[in-house]
């Protein structure tokens, strides 16, 4: 009995000593970790494909920059497309090189698989590479045209709102700011341009210079006319509300005339689809059964002759 009690006491003392030692050792290790210099954090996940693509395009664009004479025109196109990043030309040039290489490699693989001749192979690869090099510029121009069309579409509504704000007693600067806030959801392109113009005015830019910058950024003819009206109104001191109302009526009249012009051209444009798509199917439906009956009835008669 005494031996069993002695053994139990020994086990308890040993377990307590071990637990105390582990606790002290853990505290010491945690203290050493706090005192040790911090190691740089290494991400536990791989970077996303978008980041890899952007880094690749950026490196290629930096290695093969655009000529200095083409850079201002390209930056102006980026601004008109709504892209204001200073690194946009570099990414664009890298995307052109990568697209040309990808299209050329795809054409080369297809030509080798089809066992094409050397002349046809070189011609196809060159054409595909040229297409890949041109494709980013065509996409950029499409974005410019799409944004300009959106600005033209929303400009009459913006002018009506400007008339209301001016007649309520607001100045031209507060009017453009209010229009930018109100049209943020309906016409974000116009709201963006008016916001940039207000930021230029707050930065100390003169009003006519800010208006000229607005016309240059958009590249829309109607906006240029609006800028000319605002500058003349500010210079000669005429009524802003009356000028804006007249210009809004003018824009609506021009839009109506353009719509009527497109409608009058519709008949001429429908000639080719009707001639090549509708008439053949119409002839097949109407004349086809008649020809079938004629052939079925006349063919035995001709054979008997």
pLDDT value for 27? 60
Average pLDDT value for residue range 206-210: 89
The CATH number of whichever domain residue 204 belongs to comes to 1.20.81
Residue 57 and residue 157 in one domain: no
Last residue of a domain, one of 146, 173, 203: 146
Residue 136 and residue 168 in one domain: no
Residue 18 lies in a domain: no
Mean pLDDT across the chain: 81
Residue 277 lies in a domain: no
Last residue of a domain, one of 127, 146, 165: 146
Residue with tokens 């008339």: 163
Residue 92 and residue 133 in one domain: yes
**Residue 44 confidence class, pLDDT cut points 50, 70, 90:** very low
Question: 82 is written with which tokens?
Answer: 């709504």
Residue 79 lies in a domain: yes
Put residue 39 in one of left, alpha, beta given phi > 0 → left and psi -120 to 50 → alpha: beta
Question: In this structure, how many other beta carbons lie within 10 angstroms of the beta carbon of residue 83?
Answer: 17
Residue 305 lies in a domain: no
**Residue 24 confidence class, pLDDT cut points 50, 70, 90:** low
**pLDDT of 12 higher than 70:** no
Residue 134 and residue 195 in one domain: no
Residue 224 and residue 234 in one domain: yes
Higher pLDDT, 241 or 41: 241
Q: Are 95 and 130 in contact (CB under 8 A)?
A: no
Q: What is the pLDDT of residues 51-76, one digit of tens each?
A: 776 777 777 777 777 777 888 899 99
Residue 104 and residue 166 in one domain: no
pLDDT value for 197? 92
Half-sphere exposure of 211 (CA within 13 A, CB side): 18
Residue 79 and residue 167 in one domain: no
Residue 36 lies in a domain: no
Residue 218 and residue 168 in one domain: yes
Put residue 47 in one of left, alpha, beta given phi > 0 → left and psi -120 to 50 → alpha: beta
pLDDT value for 286? 83
Residue 296 lies in a domain: no
Residue 202 and residue 119 in one domain: no
Higher pLDDT, 43 or 237: 237
Residue 121 lies in a domain: yes
Q: What is the pLDDT of residues 242-284, one digit of tens each?
A: 888 888 888 888 888 888 988 888 888 888 888 888 888 887 8
pLDDT value for 6? 60
Domain that holds residue 152: 148-268
> In the chain, how many domains are there?
2
Q: Where are the alpha helices (DSSP H) in the chain?
A: 2-35, 49-63, 71-80, 88-113, 118-167, 172-182, 188-202, 207-218, 221-236, 240-269, 271-273, 279-304
**pLDDT of 237 higher than 60:** yes
114, 107, 156: which is closest to 129 by C-alpha? 107
Residue 221 and residue 155 in one domain: yes
Residue 287 lies in a domain: no
Model confidence pTM above 0.75: no
Q: Are 241 and 163 in contact (CB under 8 A)?
A: yes
pLDDT value for 38? 56
Distance of CA 300 to the CA centre of its chain: 68
Last residue of a domain, one of 146, 175, 208: 146
Q: What is the pLDDT of residues 275-297, one digit of tens each?
A: 888 888 887 888 878 777 777 77
As a whole number of Å, the CA-based R_g of the chain is 37
Residue 158 and residue 141 in one domain: no
Residue 137 and residue 175 in one domain: no
């Amino acid at each position: 009995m005494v031996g069993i009690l002695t053994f139990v006491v020994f086990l308890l003392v040993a377990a307590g000593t071990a637990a105390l030692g582990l606790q002290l050792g853990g505290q010491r290790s945690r203290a050493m970790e706090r005192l040790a210099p911090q190691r740089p954090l290494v991400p536990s996940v791989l970077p996303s494909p978008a980041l890899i693509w952007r880094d690749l395009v950026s490196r290629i664009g930096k290695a093969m920059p655009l000529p200095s004479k083409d850079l201002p025109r390209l930056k102006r196109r980026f601004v008109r497309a709504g892209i204001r990043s200073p690194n946009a030309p570099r990414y664009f040039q890298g995307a052109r090189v990568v697209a040309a290489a990808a299209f050329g490699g795809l054409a080369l693989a297809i030509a080798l698989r089809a066992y094409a001749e050397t002349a046809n192979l070189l011609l196809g690869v060159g054409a595909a590479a040229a297409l890949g090099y041109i494709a980013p510029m065509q996409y950029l121009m499409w974005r410019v045209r799409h944004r300009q069309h959106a600005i033209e579409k929303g400009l009459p509504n913006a002018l009506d709102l400007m008339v209301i704000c001016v007649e309520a007693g607001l100045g031209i600067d507060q009017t453009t700011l209010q229009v930018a806030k109100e049209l943020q959801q309906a016409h974000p392109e116009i709201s963006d341009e008016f916001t940039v113009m207000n930021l230029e005015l707050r930065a100390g830019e003169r009003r006519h210079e800010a208006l000229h910058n607005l016309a240059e950024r958009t590249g829309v003819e109607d906006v240029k006319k609006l800028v000319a009206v605002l500058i003349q109104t500010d210079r000669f001191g005429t009524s802003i509300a009356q000028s804006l109302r007249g210009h809004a009526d003018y824009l609506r009249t021009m839009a109506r005339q353009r719509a009527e012009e497109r409608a009058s051209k519709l008949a001429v444009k429908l000639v080719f689809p009707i001639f090549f798509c509708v008439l053949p199917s119409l002839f097949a439906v109407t004349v086809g059964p008649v020809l079938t009956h004629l052939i079925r009835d006349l063919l035995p008669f001709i054979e008997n002759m």
